[in-house]
Amino acid sequence: MVNTSFFALVLAIIDFKSKILPNKYVLALTITSIIFISFATELNFESILRSIYVSFLIFVAYLIMFFLSKQTFGFGDVKYSFALSLPAVFLFGINQTINMHVSAFILGGIVALVLLISKKVSKNHAIAFGPFMSVSYFLFLVLSL
């Protein structure tokens, strides 16, 4: 899925540099993903609705984490979780999409731990999470081929 890969790469780079996931790119990813799913399934509304429904549930899970983490977890990540889940549910299925998000947290945790141990960052240093979501998506895209 070229559009998802393009937007995932762009969003990862922007988030890494600025710790911001711009709404215009997240929205563009969302819209193009829905269009792709619509054409790929020949307007099979069940597939489209399943992708939207599961993506919404993942969005809610991220939203809960956003509030429970005292907003140290960015709201851009919450929105990006929805946008990235749309094509992931269609391409990988529900279980693999959930695994993709869990993998993003594992990757982020490992990198954060290495940075803390090596004293490259302090305990209060913010680390962009969007790149880990994108890398996880790419890993699942490559490994599912």
Contact 85, 55 (CB under 8 A): yes
* Closest listed residue to residue 11, CA positions, set 131, 100, 128, 132: 131
- Using only C-alpha atoms, what is the Rg of the chain? 15
Other residues' Cβ atoms within 10 Å of the Cβ of residue 93: 14
Q: DSSP class of residue 69?
A: T
CA atoms within 13 A of residue 98's CA, in its CB half-sphere: 6
CA distance 80 to 102: 15
Provide the pLDDT for residue 71.
65
3-state secondary structure of 34: helix
**pLDDT for the residue numbered 20:** 94
> Digits of tens for pLDDT over the chain (145 positions)?
677 889 999 999 999 999 999 999 999 999 999 888 888 877 778 888 999 999 999 999 999 999 998 767 889 999 999 999 999 999 899 999 999 999 999 999 999 899 988 988 877 778 899 999 999 999 999 987 5
Which pLDDT belongs to residue 93? Answer: 92
> What pLDDT does 122 receive?
78
Residue with tokens 């599961």, as numbered in its chain: 54
Nearest 5 degrees, angle CA 22-CA 25-CA 26?
85
For position 66, what pLDDT does the model report? 92
- In the chain, what is the straight-line distance between the N-terminal and C-terminal CA atoms, in Å? 12
Q: What is the pLDDT of residue 1?
A: 63
